[in-house]
Copies of this chain bind each other. A is one copy, B any other.
């Protein structure tokens, strides 16, 4: 199974990387660009055959390594 994981900064947490991208887009001449937020996208191949188990393990991976839950949210999708 494949776990598709999005790790994004929580609302209210400053995102200097997103701000930099926003400024760069403006400098390139793109107008009407509002807030830009940048996060991580991680795909993990898992040996699990049960969807629920795979999701539980992916959650544990996020909590222990992939996300800093003080400032980041994560979202997991499991695909066959």
Contact = CB atoms under 8 A, between A and B. Distances in A.
Interface in A26-40: 28, 30-40
Contact of A43 (B31, B32, B36, B60): B36
B46 A42 contact: no
A33 B45 contact: yes
Given A28-B64, A65-B21, A65-B28, A33 B46 contact: yes
Interface of A: 6-8, 18, 21-22, 24-25, 28, 30-48, 57, 60-61, 64-66
Given A6-B41, A39-B42, 20 more contacts: A7-B41, A18-B42, A21-B42, A22-B44, A24-B65, A28-B64, A30-B60, A30-B61, A31-B47, A32-B48, A34-B44, A36-B42, A36-B43, A36-B44, A36-B45, A37-B43, A38-B40, A38-B41, A38-B42, A41-B41
